[in-house]
A and B are shown apart, each in its own frame.
Chain A
Amino acid sequence: MYGLAARSSFTFASKAAATATKRMFAASATQGYQTRLGQYYQNTLRDDITILEYIPPKVRAEQQAAEETRLQAARENLTGTPPNPTKKHKKVRMPKPKVPVVTAHNAPFVKSVTVHIRCREALQNKHHLLSALMALQVITGVRGEVIKSKNDASTWKLRKGMPIAAKVELTGDRMLEFLDKLVEVVLPRMKEYHGLRMSAGDGSGGFTLGFDPSVIGLFPEMEVVYDQFPLITGFHVNINTTAVRNPSGRLLLSGFGLPFVHARKPASETFML
């Protein structure tokens, strides 16, 4: 019905040749210059980001000195109450990587984009996952990978090893084409989407967007085959960048056209009697 096993009219003369070329391709693919976003980044955006992120050495020294005094104060715990000796020591969080000095060669760039669909209907019937896999293939052009659960969750009748989600990881030109499609076609078609929040980002250069099931039909490839899907699901898009902090990541993604807006408080919170 889905035609996942369909074969087109072309057959490889030898299977060995096909696998050999697949290995060759993976190692030698040109990364990120054949697309609009790739060339824009290399020729224009990278320079602009370097200029905007540049901190003069004197200012940088002042910032580092201030950071050092802050860390020193935190270590010595000069502020606040003395520590409670009966309480156990907190786990020390791994320190974030230091912000590197801005050079002409280390502007942030997108490393990979993961499109992920978690299919709750697959709990009852694992064949529902086929919809998710097909949707991912239609949107990204890459065959999706099935994800099995790692833990049990009795409240949702989830057992370890059940296939529950599908994902696709995109790199290089495919990733940039997907991002371009998202920003230029899908997001503008969404109802009442204004952009990512300024608080978005995981602090280490990762940004996530979550979408309702209504959004998947907005992709141009889905227009043709929308009716053939028995199950329409929402999806998440995780953008991994080489930025080390949220502001750098925001700068990069806004350069690619992703809007960022301040979260607006609801009226009830702004005015209280």
Chain B
Amino acid sequence: MFRRSLAKGLGRSTRAFSTATTSLVSSKVRAGVLLQRDPIVLQQADGFEATCDKYFEWLEYISAEKFPRDFFFKKGSSAEAKWMELENERASQWYFDPVNKPAFKPLKKVVFGEDTAADEESAVDISRSIELQPRETEADRSGDVKSLERKLDRTLYLLVKSSKGEWELPTGDVAGEEVLLEAARRNLKEICGGKISVWLVGNGPVGHRKAADHTAFYIKGHILAGQAKTDAKLAADFKWATREEMEATVSAEYWQSVKDMLSTV
């Protein structure tokens, strides 16, 4: 049984409780799940960070090994010409050292002959640009808080609305001789339905909340597939919220108990 939440226990020496009457484990123990959808796209910096990243990228570009053009492309081939075009475009964006900007060399004229005809078939089409999907999805625009495709660069956490109308992490009782992990898994299935594929991290909790009549322990989990479908008897509603949205939704006292379990991203 964990006597302290992980967040408190790490990096600090254990102290004895000053009052012997209050024990961490109250009469009733509840098991909940901190279910998260991990970020799907990379985080993009902005402002000063973005400029810094661009600067380091430029440093790496100019100090990297010279691309062995003669090794990869046949001299005078159309593939080489296409690559030269792309490279000239890239090099023309010389951000940080205008004094040492290299001279722009005009491209060689492409010679069409027997060599290039054979080369065309085997050459990789490097001018084919990669189409990027948009970072903002339909769910972002419509503000659909139930969707798992919202806020792709952030971590989303599952919140359920209890029958009393309070937003909280999906929590339930521990029945009989159940282990905490089993109880958490069962409670999640009861509250959110069976059409959800989850991986629970480890056997022990990552946080706890001491309420008046019970102590709830939360086990971290990742959603791998599926979607939550709340049982009307146990939960009125659900949503997938970012860290800031969770702070705005749950009560201040609840937030103090759960905030240290959450990722900053």
Q: How far is the CA of A143 from the CA of B64 in the complex (A)?
A: 9
| Chain B residue at minimum C-beta to C-beta distance from A48 | B201
- Which A residues are in CB contact (< 8 Å) with B97? 17
- Over the window 93-117 of chain B, the binary record of Cβ atoms lying under 8 Å from chain A Cβ atoms (1 yes, 0 no) is 0000101111001000000000000
> How far, in whole Å, are A12 and B62 apart by their CA atoms in the complex?
9
Cα distance, A11 to B100, chains bound together (Å): 10
Let me know if A134 and B71 touch, CB within 8 A: yes
Within 8 A of B (CB), among A55-106: 56-57, 102-105
Say yes or no: A43 contacts B38, CB within 8 Å: yes
Whether the Cβ atoms of B69 and A25 lie closer than 8 Å is no
A153 at the B interface (CB under 8 A) = no
Across chains A and B, the number of contacting residue pairs, with CB separation under 8 Å, is 113
Answer yes or no: A6 CB below 8 A from chain B CBs.
yes
User: Contact partner of B71 among A6, A40, A51, A105, CB < 8 A?
Assistant: A6
Please determine whether B11 and A8 come into contact, CB atoms closer than 8 angstroms: no
Contact of B39 (CB < 8 Å), options: A39, A137, A143: A39
B253 within 8 Å of A (CB atoms)? no
Interface residues of A in 1-49 (CB under 8 A from B): 2-4, 6-14, 17-18, 21-22, 24-25, 28-30, 34, 36, 39-40, 43-44, 47-48
Q: List 28 A-B contacts (CB under 8 A).
A: A3-B69, A3-B70, A4-B68, A8-B67, A9-B84, A9-B87, A10-B91, A17-B100, A21-B59, A29-B59, A29-B60, A30-B53, A39-B39, A44-B38, A44-B222, A44-B263, A51-B206, A52-B201, A54-B204, A57-B9, A102-B10, A104-B10, A104-B11, A142-B65, A143-B65, A223-B124, A225-B72, A228-B71
Chain B residues near A (Cβ < 8 Å):
2, 6, 9-11, 14, 38-39, 42-43, 52-53, 56, 59-60, 62-72, 84, 87-88, 91, 97, 99-102, 105, 124, 155, 201-202, 204, 206, 220, 222, 263, 265
Chain A interface residues (CB < 8 Å from chain B): 2-4, 6-14, 17-18, 21-22, 24-25, 28-30, 34, 36, 39-40, 43-44, 47-48, 50-52, 54, 56-57, 102-105, 134, 137, 141-143, 223-225, 228
